[in-house]
Structure 1
C-alpha cells in the first residue's frame, strides 16, 4: 500500500541518520533536595533516589546513605517526568496560514520534522506524550517505534495512527485549492457509516495504533468545520468505541460542542479533548462516568496573537474567539465540581517546547499548583492506564524525572525552566542556566 510504503521510507531514513543510542547505565543515584510526589500531594526533602534498569529502584533519606557517585540535585526541585496528553508531535510542522500545509511535506520530511519536535518535547521535560492524530496516516507509529528502539531521541509516545472523521470534517485536510488531489494516506480514517467506522478502527489498530481518536465535532483550525457541530453520528461513535474495546484499545474524542461531548461520553470515550463548549449536563456526565477532560486552555491566546499577526484564515480566528473564554470558564467549573482533568496542550498549534506555559493558565482558572502538576503526571498516568508506572516517584515506576531550580508548588511558572531531564534511568538533558527557560 502506498500509505505504508511512505511511512516505511521515513522510518528507514530515521534509522540511517540516527546514531546508536548510548548504553543503558546499570544504576543512577541522585541526591534530590526536594522531591515532589504528586500522588501523595507532598514534597519530601533531602532524598536519595536510585534508578536501575530504567526504573525507580528505591527512594529514601539521603542522610546515612550518602553516595559519592550520586548526581547532585540537592538544590533542585524534582518531580516525575511530565506527560502531555494532547500533542501532534509526529506531524512535525506547526500551524500556519495555509490550511493545506500537511500536503506540502513528503512522508520523509514529515517524519524528520517529527523527530526534531520529539527531541524538543523531551528536552522541555515531557518524557511521555500522547500523540492524538496525524494527517498522514501511521507516520506517528513509525516515529513511536523509532524512539522506542533508541534510534531517535524523544518522549515515550502513545499514538492514534490517524483520525476517525467524516470527509471534509475536523480531521480531514481542508482548504486546499480546487482540483488538489488528496491521497489515501491522508484519508485513512474517513468514514460515513457505523460499518465504515468499525473497518477504519480495525485498519488503524492493525497498523499499530495504541488508541482510537474520534473527531466527534467540528474543529477550530479546519476550514468549513464548526466546533459546535456534531460530525460523527452517535451510532458511528458507538461502533468505533465498541470495536476499539473489542480489540483491546480505547477511544478518545475531539469534541468542542456540548452535544458532541455527551454523545462521545455515552459511546465510551475515555477522555474528551478540548471540551470547549461543555455544558453543566456534560460536566456532570463526565464526573458520573469517570471520564477525563483534556482541555487546552493555553493556546487560544497563541492563536489570537500569532494567528492575527501572521494572517491565519479569518475563519480560524473567529472560531478561536468563540471558544477560548468559554472553554476556560468550563475548565474552572470542572475544577470546582471535581471532574477529572489531565494536562493536554495541542502542541503543534504553538511551537514545540512551550507547553509548560499552560500550567499558569490551569492555576489561574482554579487549580492549585499541586493539582496542575498531578494533571501532568499521576492523573495523566491514570488516564493512560499506567497508574504507578508513569508520572510517579514510587519504586517500580519508570525512571523519568525532571529537575527545576525553583519550587513549582510555590510558583508553577518554575516548570518553564527545566534544568535536567532523566528518562528511563538515563540523563538525557542538562541545560546551562541561560538555556533553561523557554522564550519570553
Structure 2
C-alpha cells in the first residue's frame, strides 16, 4: 500500500510540534551562516588510511570542512570552538541498510492491518533522531514508503535525522520477500487483487522496467530488489531464488538509465549468484555466500553489506515463544545465526565490505553495535570503521563525505577513547555534527 503524501505531511508536521521542547535545545551550534566553527580533536580517525592520528583542528564553515590542521592549534582564527581534546573525532557514520518506519516487535505482523500510514510516519521521526544521535549522519533506507517523505522533511529542517537515500518500495516477484500481500487470506487477496509493478511486484522484463520507472516517479534514490526469500516475510522459504538473471539485468539496466544503484537482499546461494551476475551494486545479508559467489563478486566489484546485527537479533528472538509467527520462527533460528560467520569468511576472501545493520529489525539507535559484531567476526576494527565511512560513500557513489578533509561535508562525530584499540568505544558517541550543525555535544 502506498503512503498518501498528504497524510504523511500532516504526520510529520505534527510530529515536529511534539518534539519542539527537545528541538529547542539543539542544534547547539550552526556553521552554515558563514561564521566559522572550530573543533579541537584530541585524535582523529583517518578513514583513508584506517589509522587514528594525533591532535587535529577542524575549521568548519557553511556546512563544509574548510581546513584540517595537524597539531591541534587552539588559536585558529579565534572563532567559536568545541573542545574535543579528550576524544576521537571521526567522519559521521553511514548505515547502508535501515528501515526507518518500523521496529521489530511481537506485534509487527498485526500492526500492518491495524495501523495507518500516519502512525508509521510518527514513529519514523523518533527513530530518525535516535539514529542521528548515535553518530549516523547518513543512512540508506532499503524499503519503505515512508522513507522518501521522511528524507524530504529532514532536508527541509522540519525534523532531525540523518541524510537519507531512500529506496521506497522494494521490488519483488509474486510471493517474494517484498510481495506486500504475503499472508493475506482469500478475501483480502481477491479484494485487493494481485499486486503489480506499481506495488513493486514483477514477473517479466517489462514489469521490471516499469517497477524501476515507478520508483523514479515516486522519488526514490536507490533501487532494492529481493533476490531470494527472506527471514521475516510471511512465506516458507528464506533462501529460494526469486529472480532470473534476465530480470535482474532488466532492473539494473533501467536503474542505470536514471542514475540509480541497485541493492539486492539475498540469503540463498543461487539467487545471490544471479543478482551478482545481473550487475547489482551490493548484496545485503549474504547468508549462504559460497566460494563461487565470492569469486564473482570480486570479479565484478560487488559490495557486501552483512547486517550481522539483524542476524543476531532474529536468532535470539526465535528462542522466544510467540515473538515470530510459526512460519517465520524456523527461518530466523536457522538463517540469522549464520550471518556473522559469513561476514568473517567474506572478509578473509577479499570481498569488499560496507556497513549496514538492517535496523528496524533491531532497535533504532543501537546501530553502532554492528561494529562490535564485525570485529567479533574477525574483521579488524579499522576496516569496520572504514566500512561505515569512506567505503559507504563509495557504495553510495558520492565523493563529498566519509572522511575528514577540506571540501568534505562537515559530518563529524566524536567519542571518548580510541575505537581502533577498543571497538566498544563506538557505543559512547557524545558529539554529533551533520552538515556543520551540532546536534549533540558533551
Secondary structure, aligned partner of 2:199: coil
Maintained 8 Å contact 2:135/2:432: yes
- C-alpha distance after superposition, 1:336-388 (max 9, x if no partner): 1211001111001111111111111111112111000001111111111113x
Q: Give the 5 Å matches for 1:383-394.
A: 383-387=395-399, 389-394=400-405
RMSD (CA atoms) = 2.2
Change (3 A) 1:117 1:55: same
Alignment gaps of 5+ in structure 1: 432-440
Query: Could you say which residue in structure 2 is the equivalent of 1:133?
Result: 143
Q: Cα offset for 1:171?
A: 0.7
Change (3 A) 1:172 1:63: closer
Query: Could you say which residue in structure 2 is the equivalent of 1:436?
Result: none
Matched, 1:54 2:63: yes
Q: Cα offset for 1:201?
A: 0.8
Secondary structure, aligned partner of 1:253: strand
Q: Give the 5 Å matches for 1:192-203.
A: 192-203=203-214
Q: Cα offset for 1:306?
A: 3.1
Q: Cα offset for 1:7?
A: 2.5
Maintained 8 Å contact 2:197/2:210: no
Q: 1:261 aligns with which of 263, 272, 275?
A: 272
- C-alpha distance after superposition, 1:70-105 (max 9, x if no partner): 20000001111011000001x234343553433332
Query: Could you say which residue in structure 1 is the equivalent of 2:43?
Result: 34
Maintained 8 Å contact 1:38/1:374: yes
Matched, 1:8 2:10: no
- Structure 2 CA distance for aligned equivalents of residues 186 and 113 of structure 1: 27
- Structure 2 CA distance for aligned equivalents of residues 186 and 9 of structure 1: 23
Matched, 1:107 2:117: yes
Change (3 A) 1:371 1:64: closer
Q: 1:277 aligns with which of 273, 276, 288?
A: 288
Query: Could you say which residue in structure 1 is the equivalent of 2:177?
Result: 170
Change (3 A) 1:126 1:63: closer
Secondary structure, aligned partner of 1:152: coil
Matched, 1:250 2:248: no
- Structure 2 CA distance for aligned equivalents of residues 364 and 64 of structure 1: 37
Q: 1:117 aligns with which of 127, 131, 136?
A: 127
Maintained 8 Å contact 2:196/2:202: no
Instruction: Pick which of 407-416 and 185-194 moved more.
Output: 185-194
Q: Cα offset for 1:175?
A: 2.7
Q: 2:425 aligns with which of 390, 397, 414?
A: 414
- Structure 2 CA distance for aligned equivalents of residues 65 and 329 of structure 1: 45
Q: TM-score, normalised by structure 1?
A: 0.91
Query: Could you say which residue in structure 1 is the equivalent of 2:378?
Result: 366
Alignment gaps of 5+ in structure 2: none
Query: Could you say which residue in structure 1 is the equivalent of 2:156?
Result: 149
Maintained 8 Å contact 2:93/2:389: yes
Compare relative contact order (CA 8 Å, sep 6+) and give the higher one, 1 or 2: 2
